Structure 1
Amino acid sequence: MKKIKKVTMQDIADELGVSKVTISKALNDKDGVGPELKEQILQKAEEFGYRISKISKDKVKNIAIFLDHKYFGEDTKAYFYVKIYQMITKHLSEIGYIGILTTVDPMNHAKELEQIINGQNIDGIIILGNLENDFLAKVRKTRLPKVFVDYYDELSDTDCVLSENIYSTYEITKHLLNYGHRDIGFVGSISVTQSILDRYLGYSRALMEKRIPIRQDWVIDDRSSYNEAIEFEFPEEMPTAFVCNCDETAHRLIKSLKQLGYKVPEEISIVSFDNDIYADICEPKLTTVAVDIEGIARTAVKIVKRKVETSPNYTKGISMINGKIIYRDSVVRVK
């Protein structure tokens, strides 16, 4: 059997037309190599399969994880970010990093950020979800490596890791169409979060392909501008199915429909997004898009590790993590 040649620093140097010393400095994070050349060397080393020595374990790396305080309130039902946070800390622990959680209170966001960054030895930042604008403005000014999760920052080129929303909701809306539904509504306040808007776009695309007009009275808000749950305002004429932006909203919707005397799914079918605890406790159990929380967390940690250990200027850009439809009992064919 042919022996595989081991890749050396000289191989990388020859490929890029630089000295072996330059390659060594870049791979060992030493001074004397510009950021652009360093990034080229790191990318080439990765392409060649060169094994870069792991960072010294003498200094533990600390990653600050910021999350809106409402997700840890006593009355909260939002498990999505809590599950992502738990998975991120698990992956950080596996590489010898420590995740330091800080819940952000809009009244004290400046103090919280300064205390964490200045008071502790922080090597990087992970932002979970959409936070208050003034807080995000202060985060952008920090020079620490940072990654946004489930949020795209339009005002900076910071890396972000997103669940793929548009195509997944398009596919689950098509599932309703394949079951004969043509009167399909959407439940979600599309102006409140990026993910709800993206899911609405996926729903809209599926209907537009079938030349089905979107009825605005069937687009129902589920939360206030402060992202707090509100009562549903139903139209006089109801559709035969709803696409909900998340499982928690679907759970509340089904309760409200039953109180009004509707049978689910016999009279109104429901599909949703997330595949969290509400998908199972609903009656009927929800057909929903399962978010790949493991994939989101693993990708976020991989990016922040690359930035912290080898190249603060490394940019991955937008990372989309695909979901998967889980078929359950909340959809029936139109008779």
Structure 2
Amino acid sequence: MKKAVTLIDIAKACDTSNVTVSKALAGKSGVSDALREKIKQVADEMGYVGVKSTQNRGGNTIGVLIPSKFINPNGSFYWALYNALVTRLKKENMFCIMENLDQEDEDRLMLPHCIEDKQVSALISLGQLSKNYAKLLNDNVKDLVLLDYYVPSLDLDAVVTNGYSGGYKLTSYLIKMGHKKIGYIGSKFATTSIFDRYMGYVKAMIEHGYEVNEKWRIDDRYKRDFITMTFPEDDMPTAFVCNCDEVAYRAIRQLRGMGYNVPEDISIVGYDNYLISEVSDPTITTINVDADYMADLAVMTLMDRMEEPDGKPRIRTIEGDLVIKDSVKRI
């Protein structure tokens, strides 16, 4: 039986990336007209039939699994990611079913209904799950992509932001603004993204010869529930790097209740450039995460997995840019 032509095959033939190939075939911007025509011609000549060929493997409905506690009723970064996924999947003639996963079901290793009832042909897991649950999904889902997290001990496809680089950029910016006593807000072992951003913070501090004081490392959650942060009673740092915009927003409110003003007394930075960073008072300096591109890459990774089931899993990272707003004071 002849092997199906994949995006990777077309990319190699055109001497370009499979991301560019996917954009060209989907009619998206970012590809020159000449290269787009070349890609389409090569795809036709090679007999590429696209994602619709996945229908004979159980349909073209994709599940998106999100832990319930990551879904804020007032909106969240994950809502933006989910909406971007829906839009991208629709362009590929795929349908999408979202299912929330309760903590109890995760702890009991209960399979999602969409998998148990065979409603979907593949799954995107959005938001950190335990290693045991990720393994359960891997054992029961043929085509699986982790989005916004990875599991170091499991060889799975994943799409994440470069949290290490982002944490380094945020901390370096605070140092550039004159800060030397800088803390970090985030339960560092709660998620891989929090830990990676923490390690970027640590690198920047050590590189500049400044102390990484554990007293200034503040827990922000227990499992997935946010908790009241416990700040030091004295010897406060002049700035905090927060693991996300939601935590930065909560920190600003809690510090204000303690009599501190941001940024006059303490500077704050976040991560994601999610809506809350803009409606916050002050607006929050942050790292921008392109949710649309992240969703594009997740769908392309899933398509690659469907077409190349025996291909080596990859972790794909996305760089974020520093966005300067009002929550940092030069000292």
Q: Is 1:131 the counterpart of 2:96 in the alignment?
A: no
Alignment of 1:29-48 (within 5 A): 43-48=8-13
Structure 2: 5+ residue stretches without partners: 15-41
How many residues align structurally? 295
Deviation of the 1:120 alpha carbon? 3.3
CA distance in 2, matches of 1:205, 1:133: 26
Deviation of the 1:140 alpha carbon? 1.7
Aligned-residue sequence identity (percent) comes to 31
Q: Is 1:66 the counterpart of 2:65 in the alignment?
A: yes
Please tell me whether the aligned partners of residues 87 and 297 of structure 1 are also in contact (alpha carbons under 8 angstroms): yes
CA distance in 2, matches of 1:278, 1:43: 38
Name the SS for the 2:316 alignment partner.
Answer: strand
1:217-257 deviations in whole A, cap 9, x for unaligned?
Answer: 11111111x22111121111111111111111111111122
Aligned CA distance change for structure 1 residues 260 and 143 (closer, same or farther; 3 Å): closer
Which amino acid is the alignment partner of residue 47 of structure 1?
K
Deviation of the 1:54 alpha carbon? 2.8
CA distance in 1, matches of 2:116, 2:135: 17
Aligned CA distance change for structure 1 residues 117 and 58 (closer, same or farther; 3 Å): closer
Structure 1: 5+ residue stretches without partners: 1-21, 29-38
In structure 2, the residue matched to 1:292 is 290
RMSD: 2.3
Name the SS for the 1:307 alignment partner.
Answer: helix
Alignment of 1:1-335 (within 5 A): 25-27=2-4, 43-49=8-14, 50-51=42-43, 52-56=48-52, 59=55, 61-72=60-71, 74=73, 79-108=76-105, 113=111, 115-224=113-222, 226-235=223-232, 236-308=234-306, 310-334=307-331
Which amino acid is the alignment partner of residue 147 of structure 2?
V
In structure 2, the residue matched to 1:11 is none
Bigger shift: residues 49-58 or 145-154 = 49-58
Deviation of the 1:105 alpha carbon? 2.1
TM-score in terms of structure 2 length? 0.82
Bigger shift: residues 174-183 or 109-118 = 109-118
Name the SS for the 2:235 alignment partner.
Answer: coil
Deviation of the 1:83 alpha carbon? 1.4
TM-score in terms of structure 1 length? 0.81
Deviation of the 1:44 alpha carbon? 4.2
Name the SS for the 1:27 alignment partner.
Answer: coil
